[in-house]
Structure 1
């Protein structure tokens, strides 16, 4: 296959492709590159109006997949060609909106550089400068190559010889990939990209019972955001959030944003507060200091009755004291007797006491004392945020919380706390990310806003079923009895989950390279990157074969050259995607997946409606994802591809039975176990099992969406007065610390446990200290509403918007910093690390970036793939500057990856 690829503009496609597609079937002429000699339509002779009859065709409902939000959309199809995409106003998922990414989906479908036929490498040499010598092969040969090489690796070295990789853009596809490899080959390895909420999800589980949470926008009056553009440009449920958030802003909601860069959130905010990267915990703890020690704006009733703050802590061991008979934590009652928490009528939130000869203080007393370090003046030296600003924000937050007030919803009296503190992945790209997320989200507990009306609530902590008469799809947080703390439901499939059980009851012996057993509070297999690079250090087995599904793993984890060496070390690499990206230069076989508009997928939002923001105004929604046009060259979906592998291996029964369990399919509705999985039939079985027979897949294809209203108790978890607390004093972290240290010593491996502590702190991460004053700048990156990291850069629509944006493919620098360095907008510069790694770009000055930073959109940009001409060499890949294989950059609690690195700026003449 040739490297010659077609570059097409948005204007050219709009003017010519619509008519050309209708007349000549442009939708299916090119597989990976343009046929030589074929001429493009004469753009000048065509107009948009000539492309198609505005009254022709039909609107077919389906689901977008241009980012992980999966909004409900409609596709206008004329004679088998998609000519327009729009939001679906009948669905709460997206609320009828379509963003720029979604509108550009039509160009993903008809991009002439898509690959639609399997390819085999013929050049054994691998590298960015090596032509793989792609050769088209049949699907039979492609499947046989995958099966052969995976089986051979497992026969040589066991199931851990194979690893799977997936991107969050297709989380259900990732589940199916993991399931298929496990069923067919017994494989258990897998890794994921840095694009995730490591630390964020865990704290949201602890505090809200579910792994995604958000301000209760429709009832909130004050929102603080740390490192997130939620509701303005990105985040889960983005198109669902913008409307209520904007409406509340119009009606007086005050919006404060902490971020080194003024992204969309900072632009929209009442107050943007730039801070030094990686210092969010310090400013959050300083806000807590002001609330507790200066303003006394805390919800003592919530802290007493809904946190474990009253727990008695042994001052010698720093461990919570438990009752010998019941095994429950002890509180001090008003009568002066220490009692199990569930027998204590008036718990004392503060104080020091003697209990059975032990000197004890309450957890809250220790927390309050712990905060004394974090004065606004102390944090100013760390964060650069003025002390007066911290005091102002803390006072505003505490006063906005309406502490002590209640409201009624559907006849239920509930606490009213219309203030919330939110955060996402901006604060997780650092070491000590768990401590940072803990410090930030704990502010909601101090003001009683956690799980309160107007406060900080989970997307989907409780579900009573998707219909009144069928509770098959239902869940609610359990209770960790020793302390009365709420457990949680898993992020995607919403099965019961308990971090406390993992900490106290699990075996800490690692079984995979992800080493998750040594991280009982982690969600992500990030540590595989480190273990793959250092198997001798961690006594792990390096994988020999990698299967990469819908991802670009060369670009998703630190320095690309380091990643390239890892991929050269694999004996065989399988790629499944639509485009030949950088990683494909290291693939041995490439299996194309069809475009999202060409495929059907069951339950795109999983069980927990992972990208649906929740709230009473957003019902339980099951949207349709159906193909709107036939797949070009018959390319399969991931479901079909992995089902084919399972069938060829004679594992249909095991594969389908596992999927049935995952999606709660009842036996009477199961698809046949002795046949290859039929995707539409499986979607049908899910709907019949979890709704009813009337609302089957045929019904859903016609009606687009099934809704069922949420109830008050599903949104506000304590609406019925159910028991349950959230942790304030994290005793379980000390339990984990001892067990992790013991296991690491037993295995003879290094492991950091300093962050396993009972109270949150700020600690300096990588790059915080300036060692060499020539290297005084910290590069940061951010996402906007038009890009999904590097996934969409090949798209002509997206590329044109980025090219028109003065900050699109440039390096943004603070105007004063630039002037001090003798630099100006338009200067070509080089960013260089102390190790000599560099990237180049063009400067653009602004007032919207911290004085010690430079900022770029999409830190993984700068494509090296000649097969993606629109993306090649566009943007500045600052993540390439970050060492990716060193353990010291890992957060050993939650598997976050520190991307802070000091650089100097050199002007290129």
Structure 2
């Protein structure tokens, strides 16, 4: 079978859609027609012709659904006329987006009508795999595709144990969770390959400090925001369209924004102050700010005493916290009134500072240890590391301290709460480095010092607690429990709103690895990225490699380091099946491809999950359930992921099917009276109806959503947003004694198993440490750092194929190029428009065209991130576009991994030369 290769422009689509439903349906509806007009009787022809609209706003129907052009899942309205989608807008009735969509959302129509989509299952006939090999695809039936996948994966798992792997991505988050669950039910167990494009470390620290794996400044009330490695509220991040409105309003009201970023992307461009620091040095800048705050007493002492373990007594010899000798093993504080150490929950007047004699040994409080630890980390110290001005760092720290309003309170719905209208925010720009856990911790620790965590105007979770989605049904409710030995808040997981405790896993878990992700050796991690290292050298880690893979809605060969290097990994696998809209680069290494319906043709359930993973919270954003339904019939009857995984598990046998549906019912909290039939194939609409009725009430089933605009809301209460309202219990860790607990247990386990493992980062207080290539190498020519950034029009793999977004990228003259500081370029004899070769210390090279940009650190080269340089000719829009900086990285070296949270160090030195 020869795969059709086609492209489509905005104009050609407008003409095609116009022919289908009337002249020029799409052009005006989508705002794509050229501006201006011509006199009657002198209509322009050819390329200058305009397409006229024959469809008004009132024609056809407007169908509510959910966008999936990225992971934010904004609520949309789809304008459908005679079965053809002609326009997508935001849904003004939904707080999820508030009637707004970004460029990706508006261009979703092009994903639906892309002629390069596959709609039939395909089987490879050419056994040779590679970027330059034609798979020789032939069409097969759905029965053959399903049966081949099930029988092959089951046979492999029956003989080789945990050899089946799965891969998927956050953009298709619901489908990713279902993929993992389905493979487990079909095969008994499966490994997971995870993209490095995530918040490794960030979600963990945010969970420790707010009990919620996604956190943010309290945008409705904050006055001063410092951003490290994020553009939240200006271009990207979870809930972008929901954040930008509130952020913009606060900026109009006087909020000050400071951006630490090597590149002047959207966040830095909109900031009051741009701090162009050297990449990989964020922690040093943050620690210097903390140093100034402590030196000038901008610390919330009451908060530190009441809501952290800063008063814990620390053993000077071991660094461990002093604990009671009974089974409870509670941390001990110095009770100033009693003049002796007591369990944290019995000390009436805990000392925050000082040194105290306990049985002849001098113990310091954790805060006293911290002050000594932070003392040498001055702005001058940070200036050498970051290349920033020391006085500018000091000024920002002092402004931030003043803005924090330490000691002040405010009242929200009759409840008096601490008022700390200042926050430090971070995201993945900080975590894609060696020592990621130390960097994220260093930045967010500033919020702890000023008492900003879980305070009005400070740093709060997206959805840290829920009392239910209706006043009299707590089914959807959740709240963090307490880890009693320290009084710490546990967390509510990243999506499911289910109780979870890192501390319990650390202190009581089994550290024996059960798979290639080595998760047991990383009890503080939520990401299994280590699988990429173990897969390349399973003997070293005493693991079995993945031999059979099912990947869904992603392009894993392009998301982890050098693509040619990764190609060799996938060539060694015995069987690979993929499910995607397109024949992307990963399809070139697959044996079977099955298509999926686009998001506009399929059903989904609870796109925001329980704790609203992609929906920033706060008092002004109610709990929102927005329906996800098909707006047009799927092309060639292509199934959605709910159908696909239901079919795979049904064909795997009665036990697999029952386990799959039963697990889904538990995950979505379906009540017994609405339980699906475990003996039948999953019925998606019946299942969705059961989820709604179980979590809301009998009245609000699927039919109610269909008839009432597809959106249900329920206001949040004070104690759901500010979790310590009404003096609720709970502390957060200031001194991380549990890191030393992990260190001891990990070292014992890896010694027992003879596994190499780094444990130097298991320390109780944050600090800055350089990444793999931070300092100069022997060859002085390698003097640049390649960095990538995101913008609002380019995230996630499939947007690269979108013809409208491609036009935006081509027209802006930057996105597909390499940005370089003019002064650096001049020194190297490079001019704008020059074709160059960039070579990394790993020996990998990329080529591209240089554009000059003052808004970039002199030591850096940059490009927008994406699955650039597509090598699959079946994706005619994406083929060969962009500079894939990630391919400069080696992906199989353990020394590039953060061994605590499985982050991947993307900092590497390169040299740049004219072609």
Distance in 2 (alpha carbons) for counterparts of 1:225 and 1:593: 38
**Contact (CA 8 Å) 1:783, 1:789: kept in 2 or not?**
no
**Equivalent of residue 720 in structure 1, options 722, 726, 731:** 726
Instruction: Work out which of the residue numbers 469, 486, 489 in structure 2 matches 1:486.
Output: 489
1:352–1:243 CA distance, 2 compared to 1 (3 A): same
Secondary structure class of the residue paired with 2:800: coil
- In the aligned structure 2, how far is the partner of 1:423 from the partner of 1:791? 26
- Contact conserved, 2:154 with 2:187, CA < 8 A, in 1? yes
Q: 2:345 aligns to what SS in structure 1?
A: helix
The alignment status of 1:844 with 2:844, answered yes or no, reads no
**Alpha-carbon displacement from aligned partner over 1:37-92 (angstroms, at most 9, x marks no partner):** xxxxx976974324534431000000000000000000000011100000000000
1:531 equivalent to 2:530? Answer: no
8 Å Cα contact 1:789/1:861 also seen in 2 = no
Contact 2:434–2:898 (Cα < 8 Å) also in 1: yes
Could you report, residue by residue, the CA deviation over 1:249-276 in whole angstroms, capped at 9, with x for unpaired residues?
0110000000010110000000010111
Equivalent residue in structure 1 for 2:667, among 658, 662, 667: 662
Secondary structure at 1:875's aligned position in 2?
A: coil
| Contact 1:575–1:584, Cα closer than 8 Å, also in 2 | yes
**Change over 3 Å in CA distance of 1:337–1:225 after alignment to 2:** same
- Distance in 1, Cα, partners of 2:355 & 2:94: 55
| C-alpha displacement of 1:791 | 2.6
2:806 counterpart residue number: 799
Identify if the C-alpha distance between structure 1 residues 118 and 317 changes in structure 2 by more than 3 Å, giving closer, same or farther: same
Structure 2 counterpart of 1:100: 103
Corresponding residue for residue 31 of structure 1: none
Q: 2: CA distance between counterparts of 1:248 and 1:803?
A: 34
Q: Does 1:218 align with 2:224?
A: no
Within 2, Cα distance between the matches of 1:673 and 1:45?
60
Aligned pairs (5 A) from 1:430-579: 430-579=433-582
Match of residue 303 from structure 1: 304
More divergent stretch after superposition (247-256 vs 602-611): 602-611
How far does residue 860 in structure 1 lie from its aligned partner after superposition? Answer: 3.7
1:688 aligned to 2:690? no
Q: Which runs of 5+ in 1 are unaligned?
A: 28-41
- Residue 270 of structure 1 is matched in structure 2 by 272
CA distance, structure 2, for counterparts of residue 219 and residue 53 of structure 1: 41
Note the alpha carbon deviations across 1:657-692, whole angstroms, 9 max, x for none.
110111100110112111100111101001111100
The answer to whether the Cα contact below 8 Å between 2:25 and 2:53 also exists between their aligned partners in 1 is no
Corresponding residue of 1:21: 20
- What CA deviation, in whole Å up to 9, does each residue of 1:458-505 have, x standing for no partner? 011110000000001111111110011110011111110000000000
Partners of 1:25 and 1:56 lie apart in 2 by 14
Give the CA deviation at 1:186.
0.3
| 2:880 is aligned with 1:873 | yes
Question: How far apart are 1:536 and its partner, in Å?
Answer: 0.3
Structure 2: distance between partners of 1:777 and 1:557: 21
TM superposition shift of 1:357 = 2.6
Normalising by structure 1, report the TM-score. 0.97
3-state SS of 1:143 partner: helix
Among 825, 829, 839, the residue aligned to 2:832: 825
Deviation at 1:535, TM superposition (A): 0.2
1:324-357 Cα offsets, whole Å, 9 max, x none, are: 2342111011221111111111111001111123
Distance 1:760 1:373 in 2: 13
**2:773 aligned with 1:767, yes or no?**
yes
For the Cα contact (< 8 Å) 1:860–1:878, is it kept in 2?
A: no
Distance 1:844 1:614 in 2: 39
**3-state SS of the aligned residue for 1:488?**
coil
Check if 1:129 corresponds to 2:132: yes
- Range that drifts further, 858-867 or 622-631: 858-867
Distance in 2 (CA, whole Å) between partners of 1:827 and 1:310 is: 59
Structure 2 contact 24–54 (Cα < 8 Å) conserved: no
1:351 has 2:354 as partner = yes
Q: Provide the rounded CA distance (Å) in 2 between the counterparts of 1:778 and 1:637.
A: 41
- SS of equivalent residue, structure 2 residue 104: helix
Offset, 1:814: 0.7
1:605-653 deviation line (CA, Å, top 9, x unaligned): 1111110101010000010000011100111111100100111122322
Do 2:434 and 2:903's aligned partners in 1 also have CA atoms closer than 8 Å? yes
1:18–1:52 Cα contact (<8 Å) kept: no
Give, in whole Å, the separation in 1 of the partners of 2:600 and 2:798.
Answer: 17
Deviations 1:679-715 (A, max 9, x none): 1110100111110010001111232111000000000
Which whole-Å CA distance do the structure 2 matches of 1:835 and 1:258 have between them?
28
1:52 aligns with 2:58: no
Q: Is the Cα contact below 8 Å between 1:790 and 1:858 reproduced in 2?
A: no
Pairing partner for 1:711 from 712, 717, 727: 717
Instruction: Output the CA distance in 1 between the equivalents of 2:799 and 2:679.
Output: 39
CA distance in 1, matches of 2:669, 2:4: 47
Match of 1:202 among 201, 204, 207: 204
SS state of the match for residue 799, structure 2? coil
* Cα 1:677/1:876, change in 2 over 3 Å: same
Question: Which residue of the partner structure matches residue 674 of structure 1?
Answer: 679
Q: How does 1:550-699 map to 2 (within 5 A)?
A: 550-650=553-653, 651-699=656-704
Q: Distance in 1 between matches of 2:792 and 2:475?
A: 37
Match of 1:7, SS state, is coil
Q: How far did residue 589 of structure 1 move?
A: 0.2
If the length of structure 2 is used for normalisation, what is the TM-score? 0.96
Q: Deviations over 1:113-163 (max 9, x none)?
A: 0011100001000000000011111101111110122122113202x1100
Cα pair distance change 1:406/1:213, threshold 3 Å: same
Q: Give, in angstroms, the shift of residue 296 of structure 1.
A: 1.4
- Tell me which residue corresponds to 1:863: 870
2:10 — aligned with what?
Answer: 10
Q: CA deviation at 1:792?
A: 0.5
1:821-845 C-alpha deviation (Å, 9 max, x unpaired): 1111111111012343110001110
Which residue of structure 2 lines up, in the alignment, with residue 72 of structure 1? Answer: 75
Aligned to 1:37: none
> Quick one: which of 189, 192, 196 aligns to 2:191?
189
Tell me which residue corresponds to 1:151: 154
> What count of residue pairs does the alignment treat as equivalent?
891
Are 2:234 and 2:266, in contact at CA under 8 Å, matched by a contact in 1?
A: yes
Q: Deviations over 1:699-734 (max 9, x none)?
A: 112321110000000000101101111101000000
Tell me: CA distance 1:693–1:531, structure 2 relative to 1, closer, same or farther (3 Å): same
1:34 maps to none
3-state DSSP of counterpart to 1:343? coil
> Matched residue of 2:401: which SS?
helix
Partner Cα separation in structure 2 for residue 619 and residue 53 of structure 1: 33
CA distance in structure 2 between the partners assigned to 1:736 and 1:83 by the alignment: 56
Aligned runs of 1:780-791 on 2, under 5 Å? 780-791=787-798
CA contact (8 A) 2:23 2:52 kept: no
SS in 2 for 1:598: coil
Q: CA RMSD in A?
A: 1.5
Distance in 1, matches of 2:696 and 2:3, equals 49
Question: How far does residue 3 in structure 1 lie from its aligned partner after superposition?
Answer: 4.2
User: Within 2, Cα distance between the matches of 1:738 and 1:49?
Assistant: 72
Which position in structure 2 is the counterpart of 1:391?
394
CA offset digits 1:798-840 (Å, max 9, x no partner):
0000001121111001111111111111111110123431100
**Partner SS, residue 342 of structure 2:** strand
Q: Distance in 2 between matches of 1:21 and 1:351?
A: 79
Could you tell me whether the CA contact under 8 Å between 1:218 and 1:244 is conserved in 2? yes
Which of 727, 741, 751 is the matching residue for 2:747? Answer: 741
Query: What's the offset of the Cα at 1:865?
Result: 1.2
Residues 684 and 697 of structure 1 are in contact (CA less than 8 Å); yes or no, is this contact kept in structure 2? yes
Query: How far off is 1:323 after superposition?
Result: 1.2
What is the aligned counterpart of 1:429 among 411, 415, 432?
A: 432
Q: Is the 8 A contact 1:513 1:540 kept in 2?
A: yes
